[in-house]
């Protein structure tokens, strides 16, 4: 049972345009959501997060939107840069404060110069 | 170095052999986690340690898997009698405390291949 799903395995966008990565979840008890970015042969690095009490969080070029009624979140990157090319994982966590993140399968973003 | 350090970076072993994977967390981080990423999959939680508390082993896939953390620092993940389905990248992460809201700092992973 995949509680966090990233249905698009890959996405390709032109440099300077917007990249939108999507993530769906099934467990309404999740109360915190995170995005991680992973380059080949490196560990994932934290990118941005959002609490379930918010519907938007912005950090520079990165904005995460949360739609709780649809159990959907998205990551917007504007403008996209070639260095953003990586695998993006969304992750969700419950309220038990355990650090047990549930990750999606990842979306590979390619930003073309 | 200042980051999470894992060794070996690559391990090839024969089915049925035991393997040990090591993780050296960021100094001062009290929480340590093990995840694994199988081919084409997301990261799967295995186990975490927080200070001197009993570890949460709920993600370990079978009793062939075990982990310990000595002195609240270095951790070793042991897989006994390895199977081909154990092939994956094993990622260690640490954080200042067990948290759902803070970021985890991941190492580069140990790629395990079971022939």
Residue contact A99–B101, C-beta within 8 A: no
Q: Which of A25, A39, A99 to mutate to test the interface with B (most CBs of B within 10 A)?
A: A99
Which of the four pLDDT bands, split at 50, 70 and 90, describes residue A6? very high
The string of pLDDT tens digits covering residues A44-68 is 999 999 999 999 999 999 999 999 9
Give pLDDT, residue B51: 83
The string of pLDDT tens digits covering residues A8-46 is 999 999 999 999 999 999 998 898 999 999 999 899 999
Interface of A with B (CB under 8 A): 4, 6, 31-32, 34, 36, 41-46, 49, 51, 89, 91, 93-106
Which residues on chain B are in Cβ contact (under 8 Å) with A49? Answer: 101, 103
Per-block average pLDDT, block size 10, for chain B (115 residues)?
90 97 93 92 91 89 94 92 97 81 87 97
Q: Supply the DSSP string of chain A, one letter for each residue.
A: --SEE---SEEEEETTS-EEEEEEE--TT--EEEEEEE-TTS--EEEEEEETT-SEEEETTEEEEEETTTTEEEEEESS--GGG-EEEEEEEE-SS-S--PEE---EEEEEE-
Give pLDDT, residue A98: 58
pLDDT, average across residues A73-98: 90
């Amino acid at each position: 049972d995949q509680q966090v799903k990233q249905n698009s395995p890959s996405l390709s966008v032109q440099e300077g345009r917007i990249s939108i990565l999507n993530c769906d979840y099934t467990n309404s008890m999740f109360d915190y959501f995170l995005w991680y970015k992973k380059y080949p042969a490196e560990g994932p690095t934290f990118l941005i997060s959002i609490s379930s009490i918010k519907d938007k969080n912005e950090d520079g070029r990165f904005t995460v939107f949360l739609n709780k009624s649809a159990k959907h979140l998205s990551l917007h990157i504007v403008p996209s840069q070639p260095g953003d090319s990586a695998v993006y994982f969304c992750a969700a966590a419950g309220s038990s404060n355990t650090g047990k993140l549930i990750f999606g399968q990842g979306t590979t973003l390619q930003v073309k110069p | 170095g200042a980051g999470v350090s894992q060794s070996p970076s690559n391990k090839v072993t024969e089915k049925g052999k035991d393997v040990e994977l090591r993780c050296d967390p960021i100094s001062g981080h009290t929480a340590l986690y093990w995840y694994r990423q199988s081919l084409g999959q997301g990261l799967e939680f295995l186990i975490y340690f927080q200070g001197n508390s009993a570890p949460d082993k709920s993600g370990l896939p079978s009793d062939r898997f075990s982990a310990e953390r000595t002195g609240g620092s270095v951790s070793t993940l042991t897989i006994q009698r390895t199977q081909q389905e154990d092939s994956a990248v094993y990622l260690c992460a640490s954080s200042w405390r067990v948290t759902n809201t803070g970021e985890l700092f991941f190492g580069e992973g140990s790629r395990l291949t079971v022939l």
